[in-house]
Amino acid sequence: MREISYEEALALSAPVFVDVRAPAEYRADHIPGSINMPIFDDGERALVGTLYRTHGEEAAILKGAEIAGSRLSGMIEEISRIKERDVVIACFRGGMRSSALVSLLDSLGLRVYKLKGGYREYRRSVRERIDRLDLAPDLFVLHGLTGAGKTRILRKIDNSIDLEAMAGHRSSLFGALGLSPTTQKMFESLLVERVDAVRGLNYVLIEGESRKIGDIHLPTRLMERMAHAPCILVRASIERRVRNILDEYPRDTDPELIRGILRSLEKRTGIRMARELVRLYESGRLEEFARLLLEGYYDPLYSYSLKRMSFIAEIENEETNEAVHRVLELVSKEKKY
């Protein structure tokens, strides 16, 4: 059986990782780009685990073999379709699930590798990378008030790291609406992958964030690097910011969810403003609602910190493509020195 470490697998000419863990394990975190071919579904994995705890290892193995047997032919067929690439099989700890499958595939003449240590070893590698995160290129940070269109600018620039997309959250009070937030582990996997992707570029743009995006904690090394990077301030009129907010957020959100979020603001905005926001939202006056939310809540929250920062330049964002052009001009000029 050919075992290979995660670092060795990355050095292969065309590796493809096949993750045989249950779907819930895969959703929580996985090697970016890997294919999920679960030997057990979530319910089956729970059943085998219960048997192991209540009846012992032998009973769990027998039940696991019974379940896996019904699924193996389909898995073999799928893996045969990608046999021209370097197939690396991974389970949680490089144990029974991946070993059994790799042995079977070997016996059928299919050249595959087993990931040594499985997902757990991959996760160790990610944690080490996060702790010493190295953003080699020059870093520039976009700042601005809520709704100024920073994320829209960022997503039109190839040399960028989109932290909010990785987190599945817009980094605001209503940031999770219409999105599927990722786990901390998945965020870190995506971040390490993106840092590797931009390593050879001359510069990288990123959006200024606080220490948390939703429930995601940003790595200390990343926050330190952002704190010392040149900053560009993105400005936009209140009318433009209101349009950006209304365009970005879904209109079909459960009204009770919105009311719950607004009620949580009462201690910060006062009961009167919180109730006015609820009234505007429920009456469908969304432009007024967004404007009051920006001017009455977000702007006081962020204006003070922006005033304390220094910027290499300020740009007006009344049209996204023009703002992108201006940002790229600024970065290009800065890189000449």
- Tens of pLDDT along 266-276? 888 899 999 99
The pLDDT, as a whole number, for residue 17 is 96
Which pLDDT belongs to residue 336? 55
- What does pLDDT average to over the chain? 91
Which domains, and CATH codes, for the chain? Answer: 3-128 (3.40.250.10), 136-335 (3.40.50)
Please state which of the ranges 27-36, 103-112, 221-230 shows the lowest mean pLDDT: 103-112
pLDDT of residue 334: 81
Residue 97's pLDDT band, with cuts at 50, 70 and 90, is confident
> Residue 165 above 90 pLDDT?
yes
**Read out DSSP for 146-215?**
TTS-HHHHHTT-SSEE-HHHHHTS-SSTTTTTTS-PPPHHHHHHHHHHHHHHTTTSSEEEEE---SEETT
Say if residue 139's pLDDT is above 70. Answer: yes
Mean pLDDT across 313-330: 96
pLDDT band, residue 265 (cuts 50/70/90):
confident
- Is residue 71 very low, low, confident or very high in pLDDT (cuts 50, 70, 90)? confident
Weakest mean pLDDT among 122-131, 212-221, 248-257: 248-257
Distance CA 231, CA 312 (A): 6
Structure tokens at 163: 């932290």
Token output for 196: 């590797």
Q: What is the pLDDT of residue 10?
A: 92
Q: What angle do CA 236, 291, 250 make, to 5 degrees?
A: 90
Residues 6+ apart with CB under 8 A from 329: none
Question: What are the catalytic residues?
Answer: 91
